[in-house]
Amino acid sequence: MVTLRTSLRVMPAFWFALPIILLAGGYGTALYPSDHYGLGATAMGTGALPFIAGFTAATAAWEGARLRRAVWWSPAVRSQLEVAGWAVLPSVLVGVLALLVAVAVLLVRSGATVPDLTLIAVGVLDLVAWAAVGFAAGILLPVPVAVPVGILLPFVWLAFVPAMYPVWLRHLTGMFRDCCGLNEALAPAAVVASVLVDIGVIVAAAVLVAGWRSMRQRGGSGRARAIPIVASGLVLVLTLRVGVGLVSGMTYAPVVTRDQAQLTCRERAGLTLCLWPEHAPEADALAAVASDVRSRWLAAGIDAPAIFTEAARSVAPAGSLAFGVSGTAPDDVIRALAEAMTPPYPVCIDPRTGTQMGTTGAGAMTWLQAWYAAAGGMSPGRLFEDYGYEQGMPGTTLDPLPTVDALWKVSPEARRAWAAHAAALVATCEEVELDLTVRP
């Protein structure tokens, strides 16, 4: 609009700025980002995009509809791009501000200071794309249709597509809330794919609007007006196809293993502890707890590795313990180390359906973790809180803690044998009886 005062008075993007920013901030308080990890916190912030993009697209649709009736078809000196750009600028700016607020809240809660600028740039591009879609809807559709389309379309794309199979579809959306633990980095393929799709959406919207206008200026018929629809559809299909090629086969998380060179290792009491830079401020506290846990494990007859590392299990050095921890409270660290000591759940495929299935042996996981936590020195209260009265384990007792008590009463060899048996149960795809009786 011509003056800022006019814009503030008539543009819904400004009317609804405060609610959407507050909503984004509230969203940031509802999640649990990784400690000090700017990338993880920023990625989590992109989870606010479904409703922020809805706001951006709907308000842009409103502006498109405002111009459509009065001025869009007039012979302006300024380009359509400039006219459209100024019309949707408030929608994009408020959307970006809301995204930044969500990210800022998560950064504060994670204790990180620096956001990931690549992810923010992708988020901004995402909002520009949705503004383009909304504006195009406003130009081409009646306002009672355009605004709901502006609200619903981003929500469907950003909230429903990530819930669909195949799971890698979500990486086309620009929403990366499943990234990243401390030992993970954002997958470049997912970034490139979502940027490509965003650019495709922007180009498709521009082709549609500009083509439609050009056809109208030349007295185009209904059939001729189908040309921009087909052309923009082709742009969309093409970019989606390339994007799919980039992300197909990925898991639900748009991540790759983090560069191991960023790990810093230190030695303490025979233990080598390797931590990510984000945990450098807590290195002393973590090292103290970790070396104490290792000493207790050795004393209990548990074969504890000499290297504890925050590297991902898939790339950790052979014989090392790959763990991930959030917080420095001793019980939190003990729990993280106990979880790291257990084998991963196996990937078991049901031969009848060809899909992944659960296993009966998986029930042994809690028992095994409870033992390692208890042996590592977890406080009795936390032990009971985390592992007491385990529910729903058919074929065995419901409480791992009596088993833990029994393990304290047997020899180290018997404990090792029990742990090896429990680990084997966890790791098998066979249907097994969950017998976790402690034998002397």
Interacting residue ranges for another protein, rule: CB under 8 A: 1-3, 6, 9-10, 66-67, 69-71, 73-78, 83, 214, 217-226
For residues 70 and 347, which CB has a smaller minimum distance to another protein in the complex? 70
Q: 44: which 2 tokens?
A: 């989590």
Q: What Cα–Cα distance (Å) separates residue 67 from each residue in 21, 89, 406?
A: 26, 14, 77
Find where tokens 């996981």 sit: 365
To the nearest whole angstrom, how small is the minimum distance from the Cβ of residue 79 to another protein? 9
To the nearest whole angstrom, how small is the minimum distance from the Cβ of residue 350 to another protein? 50
Phi, psi for 15 (deg, rounded to 5): -60, -40
For residues 66 and 294, which CB has a smaller minimum distance to another protein in the complex? 66
- Cβ atoms within 10 Å of 396's Cβ, excluding its own: 17
CA–CA distance, 131 with 79 (Å, rounded to integer): 17
To the nearest whole angstrom, how small is the minimum distance from the Cβ of residue 215 to another protein? 8
The answer to whether the beta carbons of residues 188 and 217 sit under 8 Å apart is no
For residues 5 and 352, which CB has a smaller minimum distance to another protein in the complex? 5
The answer to whether the beta carbons of residues 151 and 57 sit under 8 Å apart is yes
The answer to whether the beta carbons of residues 138 and 60 sit under 8 Å apart is yes
CA 115 from centroid of its chain's CA atoms: 15
Q: Which amino acid is at 422?
A: A
The two beta strands, 255-257 and 264-268, are: unpaired
Query: Which residues are bridge partners to 184 per DSSP?
Result: 257
For residues 4 and 357, which CB has a smaller minimum distance to another protein in the complex? 4
Which value, in Å, is the radius of gyration of the alpha carbons in the chain? 28
Q: Which amino acid is at 2?
A: V
To the nearest whole angstrom, how small is the minimum distance from the Cβ of residue 145 to another protein? 16
For residues 3 and 314, which CB has a smaller minimum distance to another protein in the complex? 3
Q: What letter would DSSP give residue 259?
A: P
DSSP per-residue string spanning 227-245: HHHHHHHHHHHHHHHHHHH
To the nearest whole angstrom, how small is the minimum distance from the Cβ of residue 219 to another protein? 4
CA 94 from centroid of its chain's CA atoms: 23
To the nearest whole angstrom, how small is the minimum distance from the Cβ of residue 91 to another protein? 15
For residues 10 and 156, which CB has a smaller minimum distance to another protein in the complex? 10
For residues 65 and 236, which CB has a smaller minimum distance to another protein in the complex? 65
For residues 10 and 22, which CB has a smaller minimum distance to another protein in the complex? 10
To the nearest whole angstrom, how small is the minimum distance from the Cβ of residue 55 to another protein? 19
Q: What letter would DSSP give residue 326?
A: -
To the nearest whole angstrom, how small is the minimum distance from the Cβ of residue 80 to another protein? 11
To the nearest whole angstrom, how small is the minimum distance from the Cβ of residue 9 to another protein? 7
For residues 219 and 394, which CB has a smaller minimum distance to another protein in the complex? 219
Q: 45: which 2 tokens?
A: 């912030």
